[in-house]
């Protein structure tokens, strides 16, 4: 088998490319409605959409933090944060993601891109589940900055 080219990089986005983000959203909204009622769910959705417009990507924990600021004395909201942190993101990978990643790794480097920090649960789950890609990178649409590992100089060139 020939060695993968170092100058060829395959970029994969996490949300709705590798990971079924719509399913995660449905699960979260269902959890909120069941545990906290439809009014709480609708308010969270309004905050979530407002935040998404503001920063340009889906930030579940950021929206929860804003919701929590409106309800400072409701300790139940900490359970929602725990639910999100413990959510089985790796179980929401699309079918055949592993096979696709492994196949393109034969030809070049694989980079997983996320709008979140590389340490976030979703980005880490996708990267780990996809067999340790060369790098996990992110792009902040609010600050217009990359947050890529320092070892990924070639990736920085491609994204710039």
Please indicate, yes or no, whether the overall pTM of this predicted structure exceeds 0.75. no
pLDDT value, residue 109: 85
Say which CATH class 21-89 falls into: mainly alpha
- The residue extents of the domains of the chain are 5-19+93-159, 21-89
Note every long-range contact of 97-106, with CB atoms under 8 Å and residues 24 or more positions apart, other chains counting.
97/18, 97/129, 97/130, 98/129, 98/130, 98/131, 101/12, 101/130, 101/131, 101/133, 102/131, 104/10, 105/4, 105/131, 105/133, 106/1, 106/4
pLDDT tens across the length of the chain (160 residues) = 567 777 788 888 877 788 898 999 999 999 999 999 999 999 999 999 999 899 887 788 899 999 999 998 888 888 888 898 888 888 888 899 888 888 888 888 888 776 654 434 555 455 554 554 444 444 444 444 444 433 333 333 333 3
- Residue 147: alpha-carbon gap to chain centroid: 14
In the prediction, which pLDDT does 132 show? 47
- The string of DSSP letters for 4-31 reads PEEEEEEEEETBTTTB-HHHHHHHHHHH
């Amino acid at each position: 088998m020939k060695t993968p080219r170092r100058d060829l990089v395959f970029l994969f986005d996490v949300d709705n490319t590798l990971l079924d983000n719509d399913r995660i959203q449905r699960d979260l909204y269902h959890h909120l409605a069941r545990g906290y009622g439809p009014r709480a769910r609708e308010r969270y959705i309004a905050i979530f959409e407002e935040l998404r417009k503001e920063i340009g990507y889906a930030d579940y924990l950021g929206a929860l933090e804003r919701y929590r600021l409106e309800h400072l004395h409701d300790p139940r909201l900490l359970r929602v944060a725990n639910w999100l942190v413990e959510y089985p993101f790796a179980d929401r990978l699309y079918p055949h993601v592993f096979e696709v990643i492994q196949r393109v790794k034969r030809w070049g480097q694989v980079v997983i891109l996320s709008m979140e920090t590389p340490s976030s649960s979703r980005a880490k789950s996708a990267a780990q589940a996809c067999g340790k890609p060369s790098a996990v990178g992110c792009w902040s649409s609010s600050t217009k900055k990359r947050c890529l590992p320092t070892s990924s100089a070639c990736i920085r060139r491609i994204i710039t």
